[in-house]
Each structure stands twice: as structure tokens, then as C-alpha cells.
């Protein structure tokens, strides 16, 4: 990978503990140019010419200090398309786990979900098994869960609004369910959403999901289909997710971001955000906090 490169250091917006001396120390060690502060005490970047051999060790050391480090090629950082997972990415919950809790099988389903998201189980088979445990649940529970259990990941509204204001197309693509993605997409302002459909009969969940299941490959297909439709190269796509079913789109997109991801997922991604929130995806594109937009 040829330079020049840009290093972005960022931390939790709640903690705001990015020390200027830390930024300057790394900048000097890597022969970087002057530091540009994107947000005081929270995010800064600098350019440098050659990828250093100690990059992995520096990343590990900064993680212990609560600081994320993202190193990219300096060119083409601002993306023209956002492809985002929903559960544990744009929202803070796993919707199927919340439904299962209402059905009295929460702990069992949550265990299956965790194993599937870490790549220990086949996603499609795990989804079929979990949905089967919801058979007979009143469909109105979906609206109850949406109203009382679902909370949004910090920074999501700013991420979507800012990228859209700068000409990007935004898509929410989930291995979850359309009954949730429709509302989440509308609330956050996504242009499009794709997900699985829960089968309902006589006001009850049947325990089945409509086929074909939207899993790992379907997320890759969404990336390809939508970028082709928009006439964009895949290098212009930023994808974000946390689970094993996101790996296909994360590794194929121009920038794939593992956000607070499962260990098996983070290990396969170059861009990992463990301390920042969704605004980190703006910082690594070079947006300053003063440029953030929030429409809702």
C-alpha cells in the first residue's frame, strides 16, 4: 500500500481524553506533518509518507489508553455511499433478543445470537432456530419493543445526515427484520433499507422467516447492487458492522469499519473502532466536528 497516509486518533466523545502531547509524539515518530484537530480533546489527524513497521504495536498501546487509531491512504477518504448494519451498530440492541425476552426465551436466544455474531454458528441456521422460538408471540409485541426497548447508537444521526448533506447515498442493511429497519431507517434518515421479513398469521408470529434469508452474502449483494445502480466504484463505499455476517461487506467496501465488533470480526478488519461512537466514521473521512449535521 503506497502513501501518503493519514493517521486519525480519536476517543470517546464522552471521555474526551485525547492528549495533544500523545498526538505530537506519534506524529514526530512517524515523520508526520502538522496535526489537524477535528474536535478538541477528541479527534485529530496527520499525514505521513511511509507505513511504519510498529503500526500494530502502536495500535495496541493506544487501545490501552482508550484511543482508537485508524491509518488509511490519504486519497479518497470521503465516501459517496454508506452501507450500515442495524443491530448493535445503528441501534444498541439485537432486535431478536428483545423479542425473545418478551417471549420468555431471552437468555437462550441471546446466547445463540452472540455465537452467531462471533462466527461460531451458521447465520442462516441460527436465525431460523431463533425465529422458531418466537412462534405464537403476539405481533403487537414488535411495536412494544420498538417503543420501549430500542435505543439508538450515539452518533448515528450525525453520521447519516452529514454524509447525505455531502452527497452520499445511505442504506441500512440488516440480518434482522423489516418491521424494525423501516422505523430505524426513517428515524435516522436512511435512503433505503433491506432486511428479513417475519411471517405473521392471525396476529401471531408463525415462527418462520420469509425466504431467501438476508444473511452475509445478501449484504455483499446489496453493496454490489446499489453501488452499480448509483454508478459508484466499490472504493467509494463505507460499510460498518459488528458481526460475522457483516464481514463480507466490510472486507469488500472501500472502507470497512468494525464498530465495537465481536473479536472474530475485529481480527479480520483493518479499521476498528472500539472507543469512539458512530461519529468516528466522520472523523476518519476527514470531517471536523464543526461540519457535523443532525436532522433529527
> pTM of the predicted model, to two decimals?
0.96
Cβ 188 vs Cβ 90: under 8 Å: yes
Closest CA to 6 of 39, 40, 53, 50: 50
The catalytic residues are 85, 87
Give the separation between CA 150 and CA 208, rounded to whole angstroms. Answer: 23
Which positions ≥6 away from 217 have C-beta within 8 Å?
248
Give the separation between CA 255 and CA 273, rounded to whole angstroms. Answer: 12
Q: Name the residue ranges covered by the structural domains of the chain.
A: 1-75, 78-296
**Reported CATH class of domain 78-296:** alpha beta
Closest CA to 100 of 140, 134, 51: 134
**Equal CATH topology for 1-75 and 78-296:** no
Give the separation between CA 294 and CA 296, rounded to whole angstroms. Answer: 6
What is the CATH T-level fold of the domain 1-75, as seen in this structure? Alpha-Beta Plaits (3.30.70)
pLDDT tens digits, one per residue of 134-189: 999 999 999 999 999 999 999 999 999 999 999 999 999 999 999 999 999 999 99
pLDDT tens digits, one per residue of 20-74: 999 999 999 999 999 999 999 999 999 999 999 999 999 999 999 999 999 999 9
Amino acid at each position: 500500500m503506497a502513501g501518503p497516509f493519514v493517521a486519525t486518533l480519536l476517543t470517546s466523545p464522552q471521555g474526551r481524553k485525547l492528549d495533544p502531547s500523545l498526538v505530537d509524539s506519534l506524529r514526530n515518530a512517524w515523520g508526520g506533518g502538522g496535526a489537524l484537530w477535528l474536535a478538541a480533546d477528541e479527534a485529530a489527524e496527520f499525514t505521513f509518507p511511509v507505513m511504519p513497521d510498529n503500526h500494530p504495536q502502536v495500535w495496541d498501546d493506544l487501545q490501552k489508553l482508550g484511543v482508537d487509531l485508524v491509518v488509511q491512504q490519504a486519497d479518497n477518504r470521503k465516501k459517496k455511499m454508506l452501507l450500515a448494519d442495524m443491530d448493535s451498530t445503528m441501534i444498541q440492541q439485537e432486535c431478536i433478543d428483545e423479542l425473545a425476552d418478551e417471549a420468555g426465551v431471552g437468555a437462550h436466544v441471546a446466547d445463540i445470537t452472540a455465537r452467531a455474531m462471533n462466527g461460531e454458528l451458521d447465520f442462516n441456521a441460527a436465525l431460523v432456530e431463533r425465529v422458531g422460538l418466537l412462534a405464537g408471540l403476539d405481533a403487537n409485541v414488535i411495536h412494544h419493543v420498538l417503543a420501549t426497548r430500542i435505543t439508538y447508537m450515539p452518533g448515528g444521526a450525525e453520521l447519516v445526515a452529514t454524509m447525505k448533506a455531502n452527497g452520499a447515498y445511505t442504506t441500512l442493511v440488516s440480518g434482522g427484520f423489516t418491521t424494525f429497519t423501516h422505523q430505524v431507517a426513517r428515524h435516522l434518515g436512511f435512503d433505503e433499507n433491506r432486511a428479513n421479513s417475519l411471517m405473521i398469521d392471525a396476529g401471531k408470529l408463525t415462527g418462520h422467516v420469509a425466504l431467501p434469508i438476508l444473511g452475509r452474502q445478501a449484504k455483499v449483494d446489496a453493496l454490489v447492487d446499489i453501488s452499480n445502480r448509483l454508478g459508484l466504484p466499490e472504493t467509494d463505499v463505507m460499510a460498518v458492522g459488528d458481526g460475522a455476517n457483516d464481514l463480507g461487506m466490510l472486507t469488500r467496501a472501500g472502507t470497512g469499519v468494525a464498530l465495537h465488533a465481536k473479536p472474530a470480526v475485529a481480527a479480520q478488519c483493518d479499521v476498528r473502532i472500539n472507543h469512539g461512537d458512530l461519529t468516528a466514521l466522520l472523523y476518519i473521512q476527514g470531517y471536523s466536528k464543526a461540519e457535523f449535521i443532525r436532522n433529527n
